[in-house]
């Protein structure tokens, strides 16, 4: 089974997500292209003026995905990763951390 953390070729998205918000770090789960991902997202301690974290440290399937942040109306990560996975992780942060996708 391929890991898309190392492969840029992507075919279709089919994911189901679950998130737990009982601690500063929270977990996510999703399936993409027949691969199941378990992840941990940890907000940075550095905050923006609006009180939200500047970035989030993301680990997927025990592999560092990178530090993801919202910039110029889109999610970006400090490592080379497939755009579709960046968007999936970013949407989970929006839905769970910001509760309604209110990222500015």
Residue 45 three-state SS: coil
- Residue 88 neighbours by CB distance under 10 Å: 20
Greatest Cα pair distance in the chain: 43
Residue 101 lies inside a defined structural domain of this protein:
no
Domain that holds residue 36: 18-96
pLDDT band at 48 (very low <50, low <70, confident <90, very high): confident
Residue 32 lies inside a defined structural domain of this protein:
yes
Mean pLDDT of the chain: 78
Task: Give CA 77 to chain center in angstroms.
Answer: 9
Residue 47 lies inside a defined structural domain of this protein:
yes
* Number of domains comprising the chain: 1
In this structure, what DSSP letter does residue 61 have?
T
Residue 22 lies inside a defined structural domain of this protein:
yes
Residue 103 lies inside a defined structural domain of this protein:
no
Instruction: With 0.75 as the threshold, say if the pTM is over it.
Output: no
- Residue 84 neighbours by CB distance under 10 Å: 17
Span 81-95, pLDDT tens digits: 999 999 999 999 988
Residue 4 lies inside a defined structural domain of this protein:
no
Residue 104 lies inside a defined structural domain of this protein:
no
Q: What is the pLDDT of residue 12?
A: 31
Residue 83 lies inside a defined structural domain of this protein:
yes
């Amino acid at each position: 089974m391929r890991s898309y953390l190392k492969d840029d070729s992507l075919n279709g998205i089919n994911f189901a997500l679950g998130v737990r918000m009982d601690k500063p770090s929270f977990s996510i789960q999703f399936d993409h292209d027949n691969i199941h991902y378990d992840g941990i997202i940890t907000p940075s301690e550095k905050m923006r003026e609006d009180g939200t974290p500047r970035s989030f440290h993301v680990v997927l399937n025990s592999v560092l995905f990178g530090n993801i942040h919202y910039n110029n109306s889109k999610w970006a990560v400090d490592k080379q990763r497939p755009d579709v996975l960046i968007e999936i992780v970013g949407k989970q942060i929006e839905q769970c951390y910001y509760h309604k996708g209110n990222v500015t």
